[in-house]
Amino acid sequence: MDSRITVIGKQNSYLNQVLYELRDENIQLDRLRFRNNLLKMGEILAYEISKHFTYTPRQVRTQLGTLEMNLLSEQPVLVSILRAGLSLHEGLLKFFDQADNGFISAFRHHTNGNQFIVKVQYQAAPDISGRDLILIDPMIATGKSAVLCHQALVESSGQPERVFIAGVIASDEGLEYVLRHIPKARIFVGAVDYELTAKAYIVPGLGDAGDLAFGPKDDHD
């Protein structure tokens, strides 16, 4: 697999318990539990992403002496794709608790049958020029939402130094699409599934993360 992609669930860790509960159709009936599991997933993703940041040595004094420790040189900017990204965002923010934050919306506008285009409608983000950006997109299915949101952020808020994408589940097709259009991105996901339905949903996936977290939406365009 491409070195720019980290699939955390390939190694045995507590993440797989969280991912199991996110996928299980019976556990999903509890929206609070589903949101809490997304939050846990966000914390795990934040820890893995943090290994790739820049650190600066700093002395700390304890009651018994001093020592040097490496601390994060600069907080990242967290930007979640609404609405599904909100609970995942909360988990990353619990970890990077001094980070600047942004929000951007992307939704599928169905044009004919299973055909759709992704529309970016709203964004509120700080200046990301020269900074580390973490773009939060729980389900990287076709990859179009992540690519279009990244493009919109660059146009309005500047060019980031590095781009990290945090997701729960991705498809092979979605990962390939993202890296083709954002070649410098590093992608961190819990798992990769290998099939998309005719409606571009990941199989076996977990369903619609936004609906499971916050309730069904009206799909009328």
pLDDT at residue 201, rounded to an integer: 85
The DSSP secondary-structure symbol of 197 reads -
Model confidence at 114, pLDDT cuts 50, 70, 90, reads: low
**Pairing between strand 195-196 and 5-7?**
unpaired
The structural domains of the chain, ordered by start, are 5-53+75-214 (3.40.50.2020)
CA distances from 100 to 67, 76, 80, 89, 132 (A): 29, 7, 12, 12, 11
Q: Are 192 and 65 in contact (CB under 8 A)?
A: no
- Calpha distance 61→66 (Å, rounded): 4
Judged by average pLDDT, the poorest of 149-158, 160-169, 211-220 is: 211-220
- Calpha distance 183→186 (Å, rounded): 8
Residue 109 has pLDDT above 60, yes or no: no
Q: Are 133 and 160 in contact (CB under 8 A)?
A: yes
Judged by average pLDDT, the poorest of 74-88, 124-138, 207-221 is: 207-221
Q: Please choose, from the candidates 35, 40, 46, the residue with its C-alpha nearest in 3D space to the C-alpha of residue 18.
A: 40
Q: Are 164 and 134 in contact (CB under 8 A)?
A: yes
pLDDT above 90 covers a percentage of the chain that reads: 78
pLDDT (average), residues 35-46: 97
pLDDT at residue 132, rounded to an integer: 97
Q: Please choose, from the candidates 3, 192, 15, the residue with its C-alpha nearest in 3D space to the C-alpha of residue 88.
A: 15
Residue 7 has pLDDT above 70, yes or no: yes
Model confidence at 84, pLDDT cuts 50, 70, 90, reads: confident
Q: Are 213 and 38 in contact (CB under 8 A)?
A: yes
Model confidence at 110, pLDDT cuts 50, 70, 90, reads: low
Burial tier of 24 (Cβ tally within 10 Å: 0-12, 13-18, 19+): middle
DSSP helix, strand, coil percent of the chain (3-state; round to 5): 35, 35, 30
Global pTM reads 0.91
- Calpha distance 210→204 (Å, rounded): 17
